[in-house]
A and B are shown apart, each in its own frame.
Chain A
Amino acid sequence: MFIEALNAYIDPIKPVDKAIITHAHADHAKPNHNKVLATKDTINIMKIRYGENCAKKFQAIEYGEKININGLGITLYPAGHILGSAQVLLENKKNKVLITGDYKTKSDDTAQSFELVKTETLITEATFGLPIFKHPEPAEEIEKLLSSIKLFTNKCHIVGAYALGKAQRVISLLRKKGYDDIIYLHGAIEKITNYYLQRGIKLGKLKKVTKDDVHNLKGKIVIAPPSALKDKWVRKFPDVRYCLASGWMIIKQRVKQSKIELPLVISDHADWNELTNTILNSKAKKIWLTHGRTDALEYWCKKNNLNAMALYLKRDD
């Protein structure tokens, strides 16, 4: 997404001169930009993932701190999606545009809480932009995992969760429910999790899973990236119960297709109600929709007399 007045891109997928990065997920934060503007956490995580020199210059700003470039004010607000995730508010005397980036309004002990920002133009994500998506309470979902461990005492529960954000949130939710056993981590999750620990987020006893562990994990929980569940990696565990923490898991046919035995409907994106409430509460007069199932949201906006259009991001821009 290109902002002409700034000569800068938001979450560009190719290296550019000036980039504003909303959060450090790989499809939003790419390496090798010239200058990167983002929150401190986002920059730190990018450095962990891509190396200290993954951009020539970093500029970290605080949430709510306004900076001015070319007469345009830029402010980052917490998006509640993952640690360091931000919404971007661009404003001049005449106009206000808010880009939500990926967000959720539900509470999450591992991310800064979402802050509602009033704006004139709202550019919102639409990942779960269908009325079938209503995420249940995460605590209820975690309860399912805990009862499964009690029921299937000889199975190793491998929980698929994105390495950045979801994994730590699942761990934190487990701890909140009083689970105090060691939680095992797939190698790809370790580094990021260490950063969360450094940031003072309490995650309890953790251990990277090793070859020697795989036969001693009956009734234990292993957190792994979703892709690892389909990978050769899982073949070394003798008796596995496959779990996946994702908003998509609300569709039972999806669960069956992905061969998941225990779906945990835990999402870091806004569901239908959060999306529509945020649109209404932002008081925006113009709504642009991007990332996901935009057609239903666009229809809903128009039905509620809101000026809306889907924004298609070009793959090559």
Chain B
Amino acid sequence: MRKFSILLKQLIFCPSNIEKTKVIIDYLNDVDIEEAGYTVAALTNNLKFKHIKAYKVKQIIKSKVDSTLFDLSYDYVGDLADTISLIWNKKPKNSHKKYSFLEIITILNSNDLDLEKFVTDFLNNNNLDERWAFIKLLLGGFRIGASATFIKNTLAEYGRKNKDDIEKVWNGLSPPYLNLLKWLKDEGGYPKINLNETFHTMMLANSFDLNKDANKISPENHIAEYKWDGIRVQVLCENNTIKLYSRTGENISSSFPEITFNSRELVVLDGELLAGKNFIPQSFGELQKRINKKKPSKKLLDETSVFIRLYDILFFEGKDIRNENLIVRKQKLENFYSKYLLNNKFDISEIIPFSNFQQLEKIYKSLYKSKFKEGLMLKRKLSLYISGRKKNLWLKWKRAPKYIDAILMYAQRGHGKRSSFYSDFTFGVFDNNNIVPIAKAYSGYSDEELVKLDRFVRENTITSFGPVREVNKKLVVELAFDSMQKSNRHKSGIALRFPRFHRIRWDKPVNETLLLNEIKSEFIN
């Protein structure tokens, strides 16, 4: 447990990713393979103990320390591991037996675990950092500044392997990932996984940049499709059993019981789940009624129909065809569709014919007012299906953004390189005589502009609330955003999708900006 706690502490206190990578690799080299595997599982949030719940742990602690003082402390600290490790007031005894990391994992997994006794004994016999790491291990949610993707990249670096190959098998493996680690250490072959039980991490697109990418697009090398505004899903079917996964790999089959088809051999499809009947899409707002409803009522099923518009096929007739190119895959998708999917729950995403880029641009511009088409997808014909966001294969060309002028209200310091700069901003617009917040933006400005913004914040601060500075409301920034929706959660009643800086209007007086009402009537239909 000591090594694990030192690792966590080094990670949480380390702002540099390069150093974090080094710290993790040193750790993996230091501990034995099983310990390494469970740590990887913990850090990627894949280590779950089915008998352990946060509320139970809290209950145990509150029965051992003053519960009012615990609540006041937790309220102040905001992190359970910090609070518990600090409030525990017994000095550890050195005489007591210390469990190893692996013994702890075994005990936490065992069916006859006496959680209260075990937690109490552990807290009584270990120091502050170990207590802290123990509670993190117990409850997950590490918040130490190392995401699952970061850990996987680190593993690739550790084993000098391709991270796509890690991603391909990752979802089919489980803790303590011994086969994966052996392969990374060149002590074993590439891990085998159970394909029909596994979500295959999706291939994602990079953003299209008109200036850089336009001349690379040609009808010889690319196909164009619409980018539909629904949720990306993966459909798995084998032995006539279907599984539906969201982009993050969450099994959402039970929310969409009407999505069915029959295939004995393994098929994996990639598509967009949309609300609508007879393949006529409705807005994303309609689809939202169905998302997160684990057991939809019959009424809801009748009222809000869904269908899947297919983009791609990963497995066909039991075979992995991700290493075939896109044209071959699209052909196989057609074959499969005509053979199996003659029902009203699936259709195929149309391919937009074009003979030159100008034609594409025209189509792109016509999407400005569309409610369902978010933009265009430009995919290389020869692209293999590679998990993650591989460069130069698929490009998303999102609909032109919309713009509003907004007033800078609050600023907060950024992270990493920006940590001495005020770089995270909150903007508002006038609602009668008050300014109400409508968006947060922290991208879209240049380094030089950031220096100027930082100076503006420092020179115009009125008050500060913790790390947040409130500034004099006199700077107007033109924000770009993708779409605007009604929202009950925000005071302004609207929510912007992906707001970012477009231009800083040093020249523009705040009283020349649009009012909240005017903005609503212009952008919300």
Chain A residues within CB distance 8 Å of chain B: 130-134, 230-232, 234-235, 250-253, 255-257, 259-263, 293, 295-296, 299-300, 303
Contacts and interface: CB of A to CB of B under 8 A. Distances in A.
A252 B12 contact: yes
B354 to A, nearest CB: 49
B467 A257 contact: yes
A130 B415 CA distance: 29
Contacts of A255: 12-13
A262 B420 CA distance: 17
Interface in B450-489: 467
B355 interface: no
A87 B86 CA distance: 29
Nearest to B16: A261
Contact of B86 (A250, A262, A303): A250
B69 A251 contact: no
B77 A251 contact: yes
A154 B467 CA distance: 30
Contacts of A231: 420
A251 B86 contact: yes
B79 interface: yes
B144 interface: yes
Interface residues of B, number: 30
Interface string B2-19: 000000010011110000
A214 to B, nearest CB: 15
Nearest to B84: A132
B82 interface: yes
B77 A132 contact: yes
Nearest to A256: B12
Contacts of A260: 13
A299 B65 CA distance: 14
Given A130-B69, A232-B420, 20 more contacts: A130-B73, A131-B65, A131-B87, A132-B76, A132-B77, A132-B82, A134-B89, A235-B420, A251-B77, A252-B132, A255-B13, A256-B144, A262-B13, A263-B13, A293-B72, A296-B68, A299-B69, A299-B72, A300-B69, A303-B66
Of the candidates A131, A234, A252, the one having the most CB atoms from chain B within 10 angstroms of its own CB is A252
Interface string B104-148: 000000000000000000000000000010000000000111000
B83 interface: yes
A276 to B, nearest CB: 11
A159 to B, nearest CB: 15
B419 interface: yes
18 contacts: A130-B69, A130-B72, A131-B73, A132-B76, A132-B77, A133-B86, A230-B413, A230-B419, A234-B420, A235-B420, A252-B81, A253-B77, A256-B12, A257-B467, A261-B15, A262-B13, A296-B72, A299-B72
A263 B66 CA distance: 28
Interface in B28-80: 65-66, 68-69, 72-73, 76-79
Nearest to B10: A261
A299 B68 contact: yes
Interface string B163-207: 000000000000000000000000000000000000000000000
